Structure 1
Amino acid sequence: MFRIPFPIPRLGPGFRIVDIGVILSVLSILYLIVFIASGWSGDIGSIEIDLSPSNLPYYALNSIFRIIVAYILSLIFAIWYGYTANKSRLNEQIMIPLLDILQSIPVLSFLPGVTLFMIALFPGSRIGLEISSIILIFTGQVWNIAFSYYNSINTLPKELGEVANIYRLSRFQRFARLELPFSAIGLVWNSMMSVAGGWFFLMACEMFILKDKDFRLPGLGSYIHTAADKGDISHVFYGLGTMVIIIIVLDIFMWRPLVAWTQKFRFDITAGEEERESLVLDLIRRSTVLEKIFNNLTRLSEKMDRLLEIEWKGSSWLRHLFKTIVQIFIIIILIWLLVKAAFFLSGLKIDALPSILKSTGFSLLRTTAAIILAAIWTIPLGVLIGMNIRAARILQPLIQIVASIPATALFPVIILILIRIGGGLDIGSIFLMLLGTQWYILFNVIAGASSIPQELREASKVYGLHGIRKWRVLILPGIFPYLITGFITATGGAWNATIVSEYVTFAGMTLTTPGLGSSISIATASGNFRMLLANTVAMAIAVVAINRLLWKRLFIMAQEKYRLE
């Protein structure tokens, strides 16, 4: 474990220099939150994006705030969703297919309803637009984390569950002391992917056209979007450069400490040969202020344990009645929504159906090609990073940077290359899609490889496992549950990425290629909500069908055959 090679001096009893940095950091964060929130009271129509580089720090702070808030909401919701789905067979049968549907719905399909509702809720104020932007970023982050947590607690070793039963852990104790720690590695790596996904869709969430109205918010996404619309390559790279700096800072101060910290939750009997390092984590551990805070939180958690040890002892018929009422209410809401959607779609012309089917076919071919191309290189690289600490130190921050760069911002470079080698957006959209979907597989493979117990790695050395045999006996079984989770989320991510890869605007030009993504983008821009809903339903059906027919079966295999016992 990395340690600071010198003692940190104390300024007094129970107080070190590092505590000054902690206190100043907290005060700075609070000030920035107040500063950013103070701008939310402005008028929607008064926002103009100034491409002067001097405005980049302000835009960057706004984007960071939206992404972090969306991530916190995503993490809380994802853990609740995965936990609830896991605790009941009925919940699982309803919530997991629903999760398939939700993750297949692209950001732009949420855009009209969310934006119009929030603007109506806060008329004329920027608050509604800010909240809608955060919700849109949330929809691009949450499903990946939810799948990760659900997969983790479903592959929990049976003996750990039996130990929890022997010690009669309450539901809260089981969650806090067993399920959450066991899923920590996957949650952290998938959180990286989700935040990277937030940066990926930032341009679509901060600046968009809905019917004849142009909505925009101050942020890096809108800055890059505006520069790209004007064909100003230099300012596009100014925005990307700022984004890269932010990603590096987040990696140093957020992700590296979390990755190093979660190694304590590996399912190991023997200690690892080498631990992941983080200077920031070591400084945090030296802080007496944070130590006191963590101790108080620990005592609070213990009190909650005692309070929640008493399970609800209501009569069985009362519990059954409550569950039945909730289920009936949900079913009624779903039926009502389906009926409303059916009536709304009944106004669609019949000749639109062949066009939707054709678009679905084109998008299916592109997403399949993107996922295959992604798997070819992400699986070996993910295993290398997950099982080699030295490689992880070098490659992890680089991957974080590349994964977070919006593919649409790179379009000018990609289109110039395609012009030289031949091919249009038909081919270019696959590469743009690849940039948005490959990271789902990579980060899940890294999480899977990182969680392979050290004793199994040592056993493979003892038995002389190398090459293909090592992959067949150790690596693929070890990463298989995570890999399937990666494929499930990558499938949804690839279909989501069609909205920015099949419909691209640059320097006043609009380039499209046939597909559901371009159809959804065109319908959103023109305010054709019937076509928007019809294409969204087609995309949801396609993703759910793929997940049910292929990935679901492999997921069940992962649960039954490739779990640590």
Structure 2
Amino acid sequence: MSGEGGFPSRGVWRRPALRWVDVLVTAALVGLLYGLLRLAPSLDAPFLPEQAPSTVSTDPSDLPYYAVRSLLRMFVGLVVSVLFTFVYATAAARMRRAEKVLLPVLDVLQSVPVLGFLSVTVTAFINLFPGSTLGLECASIFAIFTSMAWNMTFAFYASLTSQPGELDEASRVMRLTKWQRFWQLDVPGGMIPLVWNGMMSFGGAWFFLAASESIRVLGHQYALPGIGSYAAAAIQEGDLGKVGVAIAVMVVMVVGVNVLFWRPVVAWSERFRVEESEAAERPRSAVLDFLRRSSVPELIGRPLRPVGTALDRGTRAFGLAEHPLAPPAARERTGDVFFAGAVTAVVLLGTWRALDYVDATVGLGEFVHALWLGAVTFGRVVVLLVAATVVWVPIGVWIGMNPKVTRFAQPVVQVLASFPANFLFPFATVLFVALGISLNVGAVLLMALGAQWYILFNVIAGAYAIPSDLREAMTGFGVSGTLRWRAFILPAVFPYYVTGGITAAGGAWNASIVAEVVDYGSHHLTATGLGAYITAATATGDFPRILVGISVMSIYVVALNRLLWRRLYRIADTRYAL
């Protein structure tokens, strides 16, 4: 039987057969939605701060439930971090005057330790949701967010400021709106570094999971169900067996998240690589291949297409993606003067109020003591950065420039980077006590366990992002040995290394909070340093010393960024951007 023109018509209007891959994807989505609905009541359970539990059960049978609660907090923190990154990094890269304020503020925010945020936000969130656990959940998620967002924001900002000029010109010629430019140029251009730094940030958040779920601030102890609070309770009990169980569960979680989420995202981000020749071998993901064979993602995305079209049309009224005409030089200088004057006035007012508060409580001499402690911690940070650079830059280049090695090494590196090293602190404490090693020395190793991976991940991302045609050109010209490293590899990964270095330094300062004070059972080790100072002040609710400690840490971090990392950023933008 044929229709008009002799073309066969049988089966043309037949509904596509249901495929097993669609059934599995649908079942997974339904299961995920069901799990979220089951968890929802526990997120809004009744809560009274005076009667809140200070610890959680260490029964291993509770670990599956704790793991799900922790994963939910981690992914909510990741979503909020991505939204923050898009808004903040774009504003810093596209608004010249705002950049002068946003980047120093980002430096300060990165330098504030997680405990510093918790000491302020816990009470605020509890009061925002009175009588509900949701306030404590928000405080925990906010702490996770603060350990993710800054690294991702720096990475996306670096990709925006180093965009190829021809792509920028093309967006103007095509008369794209600001909305279209963001989604068709800015986000695709920064996707690879954003994904790799997202993985690293997610791993860094695992490091502070115990601090964000077992919260000890202002003389109070709050505990939320989670794998981090379980590990904190097991450490407090001095039960190495239960700590080992928590470590095993954590490894399963990290590997599962890597296989089911990060590897598919890395493979998917390959579509945004800009190069003229095809890579010899691209990363693969069985999960991504599975999803591509299913029609469920297409069915879910189809109703959203009219929304995207409407946004593209609606945003044209707000202007195109091109810089406005340059204002007269006199008006430009006048605007700069007023802007700088307003910012300076706000900074001076805040500084004066803070100094007056400290002077009236503990005295300004406390800053001298904190500055000395900061110099000790700064020495540990410098040792860590130098050692991590010497060790991990060659290894990161080797992994990133060999796709076969990347496929096998990336999951291993992800596990090592994502694993919360403070879970190993009890074993390190036992080792330090047995060998008579002072925590003043051991703290460098403990800080490295949480901070060195930023350099490794960014170098891998930089080597991995080198266009294949450049690699082939270097091989074709016979460039090898020291010349290849000096003229090709190091310049290519330098912008990524700077991003990794600045976030590793910030991560090291943050890690000093938990690395300079280690507790296990009856053992209590304390190192001399600013991290131990802030930890002690936070635990007792000593606001003046918390303010002094955070201010001094911010001074060190911002000064290092201004004097070193920003200058390296400028070199990366002007000399080594592809």
TM-score higher than 0.5: yes
Q: 1:342 aligns with which of 352, 355, 362?
A: 355
Q: CA deviation at 1:24?
A: 1.6
Letter of the 1:494 partner, please give it. A
Q: Deviations over 1:387-434 (max 9, x none)?
A: 112111221111111112222211122234334554211111101100
Q: Would the aligned equivalents of 1:379 and 1:441 in 2 still touch at CA under 8 Å?
A: yes
* In the alignment, structure 1 residue 434 sits paired with structure 2 residue 451: no
* In the alignment, structure 1 residue 136 sits paired with structure 2 residue 143: yes
Q: 1:148 aligns with which of 151, 155, 178?
A: 155
Q: Would the aligned equivalents of 2:89 and 2:153 in 1 still touch at CA under 8 Å?
A: yes
- Bigger shift: residues 410-419 or 530-539: 410-419
Equivalent in the alignment of 2:10:
none
- Distance in structure 2 (CA, Å) of the matches to 1:213 and 1:333: 33
**3-state DSSP class of the match of 1:214?**
strand
Letter of the 1:451 partner, please give it. A
* In the alignment, structure 1 residue 171 sits paired with structure 2 residue 185: no
Q: Would the aligned equivalents of 1:230 and 1:508 in 2 still touch at CA under 8 Å?
A: no
Q: CA deviation at 1:357?
A: 1.8
Distance 1:298 1:335, change over 3 A: farther
**3-state DSSP class of the match of 1:43?**
coil
- Distance in structure 1 (CA, Å) of the matches to 2:374 and 2:368: 10
Q: CA deviation at 1:266?
A: 1.3
Q: Would the aligned equivalents of 2:400 and 2:462 in 1 still touch at CA under 8 Å?
A: yes
**3-state DSSP class of the match of 2:518?**
strand
Q: CA deviation at 1:97?
A: 0.9
Q: CA deviation at 1:509?
A: 3.2
- Bigger shift: residues 73-82 or 292-301: 292-301
Equivalent in the alignment of 1:482:
496
- Distance in structure 2 (CA, Å) of the matches to 1:39 and 1:237: 27
- Distance in structure 2 (CA, Å) of the matches to 1:74 and 1:327: 29
What does residue range 274-353 of structure 1 map to in structure 2 within 5 Å?
274-312=281-319, 337-347=350-360, 348-353=362-367
Equivalent in the alignment of 1:511:
525
Distance 1:262 1:217, change over 3 A: same
* In the alignment, structure 1 residue 551 sits paired with structure 2 residue 551: no
- Distance in structure 1 (CA, Å) of the matches to 2:337 and 2:72: 40
Q: CA deviation at 1:346?
A: 2.0
Q: Would the aligned equivalents of 2:381 and 2:509 in 1 still touch at CA under 8 Å?
A: yes
Equivalent in the alignment of 1:4:
none
* In the alignment, structure 1 residue 227 sits paired with structure 2 residue 234: yes
- Distance in structure 2 (CA, Å) of the matches to 1:280 and 1:476: 34
Give the TM-score normalised by structure 2.
0.91
Equivalent in the alignment of 2:387:
373
Equivalent in the alignment of 1:113:
120
- Bigger shift: residues 501-510 or 244-253: 501-510
- Bigger shift: residues 302-311 or 368-377: 302-311
Q: CA deviation at 1:107?
A: 0.4
Equivalent in the alignment of 1:6:
none
Q: Deviations over 1:504-558 (max 9, x none)?
A: 1211432111111000000001111100110110000000000100111110000
* In the alignment, structure 1 residue 403 sits paired with structure 2 residue 404: no
Q: CA deviation at 1:333?
A: 6.0
- Distance in structure 2 (CA, Å) of the matches to 1:216 and 1:412: 20
Q: 1:388 aligns with which of 390, 399, 402?
A: 402
Larger Cα-atom Rg? 2
- Bigger shift: residues 470-479 or 520-529: 470-479
Q: 1:215 aligns with which of 209, 222, 232?
A: 222
- Bigger shift: residues 307-316 or 527-536: 307-316
Q: Would the aligned equivalents of 1:415 and 1:424 in 2 still touch at CA under 8 Å?
A: no
Q: 2:47 aligns with which of 43, 57, 81?
A: 43
**3-state DSSP class of the match of 2:274?**
coil
- Distance in structure 2 (CA, Å) of the matches to 1:60 and 1:245: 10
Q: CA deviation at 1:199?
A: 0.6
Q: 1:30 aligns with which of 33, 37, 48?
A: 33
Q: Would the aligned equivalents of 2:66 and 2:227 in 1 still touch at CA under 8 Å?
A: yes
Q: CA deviation at 1:46?
A: 4.7
- Distance in structure 1 (CA, Å) of the matches to 2:231 and 2:337: 50
- Distance in structure 2 (CA, Å) of the matches to 1:404 and 1:514: 27
Q: Would the aligned equivalents of 1:15 and 1:288 in 2 still touch at CA under 8 Å?
A: no
Structure 2, unpaired ranges of 5+:
1-13
Q: CA deviation at 1:324?
A: 11
**3-state DSSP class of the match of 1:55?**
helix
Identity in percent: 39
Q: Would the aligned equivalents of 1:14 and 1:288 in 2 still touch at CA under 8 Å?
A: no
Q: Would the aligned equivalents of 2:355 and 2:364 in 1 still touch at CA under 8 Å?
A: no
- Distance in structure 2 (CA, Å) of the matches to 1:194 and 1:344: 35
Q: CA deviation at 1:340?
A: 3.4
Distance 1:336 1:25, change over 3 A: farther
- Bigger shift: residues 24-33 or 544-553: 24-33
**3-state DSSP class of the match of 1:346?**
helix
Letter of the 1:20 partner, please give it. V
- Distance in structure 2 (CA, Å) of the matches to 1:364 and 1:183: 32
What does residue range 77-88 of structure 1 map to in structure 2 within 5 Å?
77-88=84-95
Q: Would the aligned equivalents of 1:373 and 1:434 in 2 still touch at CA under 8 Å?
A: no
- Distance in structure 2 (CA, Å) of the matches to 1:169 and 1:14: 40
Distance 1:35 1:398, change over 3 A: same
Equivalent in the alignment of 1:458:
472
Letter of the 2:380 partner, please give it. R
Letter of the 1:21 partner, please give it. L
- Bigger shift: residues 92-101 or 501-510: 501-510
- Bigger shift: residues 460-469 or 108-117: 460-469
Q: Would the aligned equivalents of 2:426 and 2:519 in 1 still touch at CA under 8 Å?
A: no
Distance 1:561 1:325, change over 3 A: closer
- Bigger shift: residues 256-265 or 12-21: 12-21
Q: 1:102 aligns with which of 98, 109, 116?
A: 109
